[in-house]
Each structure stands twice: as C-alpha cells, then as structure tokens.
Structure 1
Amino acid sequence: MDVVPPFRRNLVVVGASAGGVEALRSVMSALPADFPATVVVTMHLGPGTHSALARILDRAGPLPATTARHGGALEPGTVHVAPPDRHLLTDDGVLVLTQGPTEDGHRPAINATFRSAALTGGPRVIGVILSGALDDGAAGLRAIVDRGGLAVVQDPGDALYRGMPESALSVVDTEYVARAGEIGAVLDKLVRMPVDPVEAAPPSDTLLLEDRIAREGVRLGALRPAERGMGSGYTCPDCQGSLTEVDPVGRYRCRIGHAWSAQALLAAHDGEFQFALMKALRALDEKAALARKLAAQAGGVRPRGLAGRYAASAREATDAADTLRRFLLDASDEADETTGEPAPG
C-alpha cells in the first residue's frame, strides 16, 4: 500500500449534468482567486456539440477556466473542463483525454473522472456531485471516499434535478451537504486544512478494471475472459452485446466496455420501449389511413364486400392506435409525476 506524506487536499473533481450549469456557476463564483487546489469539471455533453462551458465558468468567478488538453498539467488555481466526446482522467499530475467506452450513455462520464482521481490522488481528492438526473458519479464518489478522499454533495432540495445528488448520498456518507452557493466556501476551507499523514487504502479490483477500460478506448475484449464472470441476462443498449455484472451494487459492462448502472440501464431500456411503441403507433396510423383510401377506391367495385373489409381493417387499426396513444400519454404523465425529470437524451 502506498504511504502518502503530510499533505493538503489539492485536487477537486466536480460532476454535473442536467441543471448543472447554474450550480457550477454558483460554485465557481464563490472560489477565491488564491484557491490553492486544481479543479477538474466533468459535465455531460453531446458528442457533436461545441461546448462553451469553459468560457461560462471562466466568467463566473476569479479562477481561470479552460478546456482540458491531453497531457496538460494539473495546475493549482485553475479549472479544467472536460471537452465533448472525451473522458477526462488524471494521471501523475497531468490530464488524460480518452475515447474510452461510454458510461451510462455518456462520454465524458463523471464516474470515469472520479475513478481516475481516486486512483492517482487518493486522500488528496475531494469529489463534488451537483445537479443531474439518474446516478452518474455515485460509484466514482464512493471510490474517492474508499481511497481516503472526501465527498461534497449539493443539497438535493437545492438542485434543479435531484437524481445525482440523491444517488450519491445513497452510497456515500458525508457531512458536507450544502447548497450550490455554499459549496465554494466549503471547498476553500477543506483544501486549506492540514491533514495528518494517511495511508491510502489499496484500490479494489473493480476500480482498477473500470479505470483501465476508460483509459484503453473502445475495443473488442475490453473485458478479459477471466473478468467476464456470469452473464447478467441483460443486453447493452449501445451495442446489443451481453452485459456482465462487474460490481455487486449493480454496475454492468459489455465485452466492448460500455458501462451501465442498473438505474441508467433501466432508463435506456425504457427509452427503447418508448421508441418501439412510437414505431407501432406510426404503423397503425399509416395502416388505418391506407385502408380508408383502399375502401374508398373499392366502393364501386365488385365484389362489394372488398370495401367493407378495408373499412373494417381501418376501424381496427384506428381503435388500436387510439388505445396505444392513450397508454403513451398516461405513461408520460406518470413519469413526470414520479421523477419530475425529463427522459435521458
């Protein structure tokens, strides 16, 4: 086990998703110009987007914010922001950008950033979870705490989307739960506090496995035969490959390496289900319209029963479409009432 010399916590990793821009601005505005630690920010971004997040955070407070560069140094008093379509990792004082497999459908993924910080920083790391849907970041925050680091979580009642803060709090005990506008002061206090020498706990096999996959990129055989274990019976929404459970709390990987939490997997399959129903609704509407057209054309043609059969087919398709449409509307209303959050994109 690696022995850590006397230190102060000098690496802050922050994860955010839906509703996270405002939370991040609140945090950055409260950090002082002489903040002595490095800040690394990962927020879910679409692969084809052009992100202005670094510019937004640069204007939000006194600390300079920049889009992370591969091989760039971890600079104290600087905010490094993950770019679209790259995982942002840390390694021996530098930043690493990879095209590792998506996690919960995201690249960059918060868990990937947090795991790498837990491995390379150990007790020097503070992990921060802000507003977002579902549970990305919860497993990574747990890894940080397991390695001796600290957890800070936005008060779910203060978050625009409470899914990520609540998921983090369900797996990590922390006394540092605060409103976004208060987190900057909490962080400033924690990074200036001298800490006694700490021996970092050894990383778990699961932590090493998932960090390796994030660093190596997408490839067949990301899970080696000895690591695959028993199949879960579930399939990967990204590639339709079989999923192996890599963590007993419910984290899954396919052979290519795509990662899913149980919560994200459920949401992804719900999206597939909704898509299939929408296709069925479209097919029924088109069938009804075409059958009505054929019934009209066959009205004066013998045998006269042909028009009646087309009309019956149109009524049958219309009734089925109306039933399916009501089901979709009711399901959408129930989802809004239960989560208060949009479906994941």
Structure 2
Amino acid sequence: MKKNDFIVVIGTSAGGMKALTALIEQLPKDFPAPLLIVNHISPDATGDTLINALNKIGKLKCIHARHGERIKAGQIYIAPSDNHLMIEENGFILITKGAQENRSRPAIDPLFRSAATSFGNRTIGILLTGFLDDGTSGLIAIHRCSGICIIQDPADADYPDMPKNALNQIKPDYCIPIAEMGKTLSILVKRKPKKQIPVPEDITKEVKIAKRVLSDLPSVNSLGEQVPFNCPGCGGVLWKMSKGPDLRYRCHTGHAYTAAALLTEQTIKMEETMWTALRMFEERKNLLTTIAQDQKGAVAASAIERAKMSQVHIDRIRAILLSNDNSAITDSPL
C-alpha cells in the first residue's frame, strides 16, 4: 500500500449478510482500498456462505483472512470464525485467539482499534446493523486517531441497536443508509487524508492486550480503576476504562465488555447458576425422601422435614425461572 492509501474496516452482526451484500454490490472493480470485515458468527460456522454471497454479487474478490498475509487494494477479507481479525502497521493480517470482547470472537472492536493505531487518518470505519454495542469503542478509537467514521442510519438497519448505541457515544462523519455508502466510499478513498495526530497511549495498550503481547496488571491499572465485580469470562478482577465517553470494562487477561454486554453476560451466568441450584435442590429432596423411606423414627421425621424445606426452595427458584417476565434474571440491552 502507498503512503496515503486508505483501509476500510467494517463491523456488523445480526442482519449483516443482507447489509454487506447491498454495500459490496455498489463498489467498482477498481476500488483502491482493501476492506476488512468482522461479521459476528458462531464458533462452529465457516463463514463460507457470506464469502460466496459477496463473490457472487460483487466485483471484488472476497476471501477468508489468513494470518501473515499482506492486504491488497480491492480485496475483501472476512474474519474467520472463533478468531479475532487485526491488522499490523505494515499491512500484514494478524489472526489471534485472544479473549472475547463483548462476548464475541471475532469482535469488531479489536479490528477497529488495530486499524486506528496502524493506519490512523487513513482508516475508514463502518458500523452496520446488529444487536448491543460491539464496534462503538472501536469507532471511537478511529475517531480519536483522526480516521473517518460511518454509521448506518438506524432507520435503514434491520437491527438498529449497534448503530443507535454508537450514535449515542460519537458524532460520526456520516450517518447514511446502505444505498449511499458505495458512492460515499468511492469519493472518500480518493481524498487526501485528514491531518495525522499521535495515537493515544490507551488505545495502543488495548491493541497490544488484544494481540496477547501485553497482559499485566500495571498496564491495565493505567487504563482505569478496579471495580467490585468480576469478569464473567475468567472470574478475574475487572477495571472500568477511564478514557472515552462509553462505559467499558476490561480484565487483565483480555476480556472486554461494554456495560450492556457485561450486564447481558452476568444475566446469562445468573440463569445458569439458578438452574444448577434447582437441580441440586431436587437431588437433595430425592435423597432425603429415600432416607425417610428407608429409616424410622427421628431420622425419618427429620428427613421428611428437610425434604419439605428443599421443596420450598425448589418452588421459589422455579417460580423465578419460569415467570412470564423473568424480570429477576433478564435485562434488555442498555
């Protein structure tokens, strides 16, 4: 890539295939920038369906991103499943099994931050349809490194959470529907980049953590302050990030969460714990009932009473788990 060549990074989740095909279809075969895409997929998915769809509908070649490969203009790189996609300053691709961010791997934020630190003012970040708010922090990093930020108009998104949450935290250069993005990109990649500014140290540290280059307590301490709750991913201490307008948390092993993603993960853990407690109380009641049947006198009477108390706990837990609104264990995204 030449000195002033742009790089385009795109993040999406639910509804992503439809949005990506509509966007890629608009780009000309001589589009002068590489495009790196993170689309949230399950760990056991291959991503072939998306690649085949983009190759069929568009004029640019689309492939799985491969570790160590150097990016080329006019080519599309898709993050492989269960791996983060990142980009080095020299234009080489980095595929890593780093800790999940916002409950996802691949996640959007690691790609966006790595592009921001490596390409700075030559970075164009695009956030499309999806749930929750992965990508917001990465888009803020691109903005802080003098890159260009584009958010899909929420009214145009099948799932508007990601665009809406990003708009709550950052004023993008463009908030437009998919139908306008192809033309806009074609114009932007031919312009002179904005003035380059130094990359903030906290963004560089987060990129190093995601690359698994840096994972020590002093480094995370410098990014924020410890909070009195633990990381759902590993059980370690969490730090609240002090930089940027968005409320985020990170542990020293690399897991990272927005407030909404952390609340969702805590809710899932709570439900798992309650189902486990329900099973254990039921097993306890069954054991006590067996003891009561096989024993006599005071032993049997005590077992019967304790079985009745176990049933009380069973009824309480089941009422919470099976309530219509599940208000005790579920929360909507922030």
TM-score, normalised via structure 2 length: 0.84
Task: Please state whether the residue corresponding to 1:280 is helix, strand or coil.
Answer: helix
Task: Please state whether the residue corresponding to 2:31 is helix, strand or coil.
Answer: coil
Residue 322 (structure 1) shift? 2.6
Give the whole-Å Cα distance in 1 for the aligned partners of 2:270 and 2:134: 22
Greater than 6 Å deviation, 4+ residue runs:
335-338
CA contact (8 A) 2:209 2:215 kept: no
Query: Per-residue displacement from partner, 1:287-322 (whole Å, max 9, x unpaired)?
Result: 344444555x35xx643x665554444443333323
Q: Which amino acid aligns with 1:190?
A: L
Residue 34 (structure 1) shift? 2.9
Task: Please state whether the residue corresponding to 1:216 is helix, strand or coil.
Answer: coil
**Structure 1 range deviating more: 324-333 or 68-77:** 324-333
What are the equivalent positions in structure 2 for 1:314-333 lying under 5 Å apart?
314-330=307-323, 333=326
Give the whole-Å Cα distance in 2 for the aligned partners of 1:116 and 1:235: 26
Give the whole-Å Cα distance in 2 for the aligned partners of 1:253 and 1:223: 13
CA contact (8 A) 1:206 1:247 kept: no
Query: Per-residue displacement from partner, 1:88-140 (whole Å, max 9, x unpaired)?
Result: 22222222223333322333221111011112222222111122222211011
Residue 158 (structure 1) shift? 3.6
Match of 2:23 among 27, 31, 35: 27
Residue in structure 2 matched with residue 264 of structure 1 by the alignment: 261
Residue in structure 2 matched with residue 179 of structure 1 by the alignment: 177
> 1:280 and 2:280 equivalent?
no
Which of structures 1 and 2 has the larger relative contact order (alpha carbons within 8 angstroms, sep 6+)? Answer: 1
Distance 1:290 1:335, change over 3 A: closer
Residue 190 (structure 1) shift? 3.1
CA contact (8 A) 2:148 2:173 kept: no
Task: Please state whether the residue corresponding to 1:83 is helix, strand or coil.
Answer: coil
Residue in structure 1 matched with residue 132 of structure 2 by the alignment: 134
Task: Please state whether the residue corresponding to 2:105 is helix, strand or coil.
Answer: coil
**Structure 1 range deviating more: 53-62 or 32-41:** 53-62
**Structure 1 range deviating more: 80-89 or 311-320:** 311-320
Task: Please state whether the residue corresponding to 1:199 is helix, strand or coil.
Answer: coil
> 1:86 and 2:79 equivalent?
no
Distance 1:183 1:328, change over 3 A: farther
Distance 1:229 1:189, change over 3 A: closer
Residue in structure 1 matched with residue 100 of structure 2 by the alignment: 102
Give the whole-Å Cα distance in 2 for the aligned partners of 1:73 and 1:137: 24
Give the whole-Å Cα distance in 2 for the aligned partners of 1:276 and 1:176: 44
Residue 175 (structure 1) shift? 5.3
Query: Per-residue displacement from partner, 1:4-54 (whole Å, max 9, x unpaired)?
Result: 97x5x6321001123322222222233233322211001233445433233
Q: How many residues align?
A: 329
Residue in structure 2 matched with residue 215 of structure 1 by the alignment: 211
Match of 1:75 among 47, 72, 76: 72
Q: Which amino acid aligns with 1:240?
A: G
**Structure 1 range deviating more: 270-279 or 227-236:** 227-236
Residue in structure 2 matched with residue 227 of structure 1 by the alignment: 222
Task: Please state whether the residue corresponding to 1:152 is helix, strand or coil.
Answer: strand
CA contact (8 A) 1:213 1:222 kept: no
Match of 1:122 among 120, 123, 128: 120
CA contact (8 A) 1:153 1:176 kept: yes
Match of 2:159 among 136, 144, 161: 161
Give the whole-Å Cα distance in 2 for the aligned partners of 1:63 and 1:24: 13
CA contact (8 A) 1:206 1:246 kept: no
TM-score, normalised via structure 1 length: 0.82
**Structure 1 range deviating more: 106-115 or 242-251:** 242-251
Give the whole-Å Cα distance in 2 for the aligned partners of 1:338 and 1:227: 31
CA contact (8 A) 1:25 1:60 kept: yes
Task: Please state whether the residue corresponding to 1:224 is helix, strand or coil.
Answer: helix
Query: Per-residue displacement from partner, 1:44-89 (whole Å, max 9, x unpaired)?
Result: 3344543323333322322210011222222121111111233222
Identity, % of aligned positions: 34
Distance 1:84 1:142, change over 3 A: same
Give the whole-Å Cα distance in 2 for the aligned partners of 1:336 and 1:166: 25
Residue in structure 2 matched with residue 55 of structure 1 by the alignment: 52
Q: RMSD of the alignment, in Å?
A: 3.1
Distance 1:175 1:209, change over 3 A: closer
Q: Which amino acid aligns with 1:137?
A: G
